[in-house]
Structure 1
Amino acid sequence: MWVGAAYVLMPDGTVKRRPVYGKTEDVVRRKLTELQANSDQGIPSDATGWAVGAYLTYWLDCHVRPNLKPATADNYAVIVNNYLIPGLGKKRLNKLAAADVRRYLASLANSCLCCRAGTDARRSADQRRCCAVGRCCSRRPSKRLVQLVRAVLRSALQAAVREELIRRNVATLVQVPSPGYGINRGLSLVEARAVLGAAAGHRLYALVVMALYLGMRRGELLGLRWSDIDWADGTLTIRGNLQRTGGELRMVTPKSEGSRRTLPLLGLVVEALTRHRKLQAVERDAAGDRWVDSGHVFTTTIGTPIEPGNLRHAWFPIVQAAGLDRRVVFHGVRHTCITLLLDLKVPPHTVREIAGHATTEVTMTVYGHSSLDEKRKALTLLDQHLS
């Protein structure tokens, strides 16, 4: 066995001594020549020593967090740390094969999430060791989760291909079942009116009105400040999102360039905001020294920003009071606004600018489905024409 070594560029940007081996001197010399030539051209040595887990940690720190929004980076980190590193972390990056990815995703899809963690979060404290005593709740991952795990791995490996750490992205060779997405996730016109009626006496009535009339996202509503409202011009400017990232509440930049937008304030929205400002003044006086002047339009009873995840505590009682016999998440109100605008034949490009979508394609693909009444009307017209 012959051995040679050279100082060459490594995947992390450092220069290290890299050994090569061969049965003859000529084989070793060829390997050394190739290593040095690639290093001189700025091409790093193959990530022979990198495990998938080490690379994914590097990818999160050097690619994801500097370039993506904090909430997105946190979601990627959850997938990496909870699923990819435990499942594929010990594999060598340059040895990872499509079969490895396929087997892991199949195993994930058929496993119990509680058994993976050793507890069952849905059970009481005394029952959370279900796996330890042989009881399994069979809480399977959703198709959406499996798809997300594969998507994050594919994105990470694509970055490795761009940096010439690996030759190809094996995650693109693996297919997973696509999750089904339901349509009509919003409210009908009758349901929307019922929700407005049920919310009329609530302290966050103006928030529901603005979500339904302006199609604003949850983070946009909770991040809205009084300084963003121009009462003289009758406009509102959306400048950011309130999100919990890195263990704290932060104002982050809008989701896309189109999300930074100015909307007119009209009718019921102005009335609701005016009433809300008076209500907030009353709450400020009642709180006294405990009041925190955060400047936000929608706050807790002591003036602090509302935790985005806590909004459901106010929203679901309103849905129940409206008499809805199905579960509608708060984002469904935004969906309702966009769908109703399209039903009113508002041009798609105008709806896109109101909703803050990046492209009109998003508006039409996600929200531009026809209702049953529209289909019935269209087929009735066709029937009359053919008859």
Structure 2
Amino acid sequence: MTPRVEDLLRDLAPEVLGALVRRYGRFDACEDAVQEALLDAAGQWPSGLPDNPRGWLITVAARRLVDHVRTERARRRRESAGTPQALLLARPADADHDRDDSLALVFLCCHPALSDPSRVALTLRAVGGLTTAQIAAAFLVPESTMAQRISRAKQTIRGTGFGALSPADRADRLRAVLHVLYLVFSEGHTTTGGADLTTPALSDEAIRLTRWLADLLPDDPEVAGLLALMLLTDARRPARTAPDGGVVPLAEQDRTRWDRDLVAEGVALISRTLPRGRVGPYQLQAAIAAVHTEAPSAQETDWPQVLALYDLLELVAPNPMTALNRVVAVGVVHGPGAALELLAEIGRDKRLADHHRLHAVRAHLLDQAGDHAAASAAYRDAARRATSAPERRYLTDRANRLGTTGPP
């Protein structure tokens, strides 16, 4: 299959699935039918594209679905015209080919009845077009485990259609969609386990889907803010790891290795978005990332501006990780003593108490304060709690360097 055909199929898949789910409702059966249509297209299209690729896929997928329903009906001997299968067969298979239900499909994959892991898996499968094996590999779980997760998610929303959402429900569902995309990107940016620091395939997919969502919702500032945040964060990817795979912290990164095209795109996007007036958490996080990426060096970063943005972010969307990141900014602006006092307060939050990043921040601040023995011990505590092998190695190395030679 040529790259052109592969890209076209990937772009069309959610539109085709959305069309079938709107018409027939049965998500699980529709998804299976679309997968079969995509396989047919992969075999036929390299020798010549149809005049209307989207319509071709919808028609073939609908026929596949009807075939499956007929087989199921015959097997179960349900011949009554009043059965759901008969009603499904009575619907036209070739209507409304031009209607795009992509956004409704994303909303369905992020249904409130699903857990966050299920939303992520289903979105990557149905909207992103990733195989079950690819999703399982990205999240470091057995393929059978991921297959069960996706199957349960499909069963949970089976029979759920694209019913009209109230403005409040639509806003809530969009927040869930953005959160799912953020989770996918975050896992790609820093994996929660395994031998590698990053999973580029997940970061790339999150950016692709967020670009797609931004095309569907060009006037939504938080969609634009999330895209800008991803671009500015991903721009630093080439400099985040050493040749041996080790972690390179932001302050020590070679900024000439940052992707300047992504930086420029992200800065321009957040600069256009912030003045719109309705500021949300993704826009503020993107603004913080922009301050870091625009600084010529770590020493020239405008930390008072970073702290002011974190202050605003805590007002708009308070959460433990935001509070922890703010502590780092407080340490730079007001000194490690003030930051350590603040860290003691937020460390009482049970959601953070056992997180490796809290202990890593404490170690950094103790180091800055000159208490190298305590800093070494805190780095070891952080290393024991870290689940990513590169992060464990980095934290252990910091502990060893402080424990044996004092400040590096």
TM-score in terms of structure 2 length: 0.25
Largest Rg, 1 or 2: 1
Q: Which has the higher contact order (CA 8 A, sep 6+)?
A: 1
The structure whose residues are more often helix, as a share, is 2
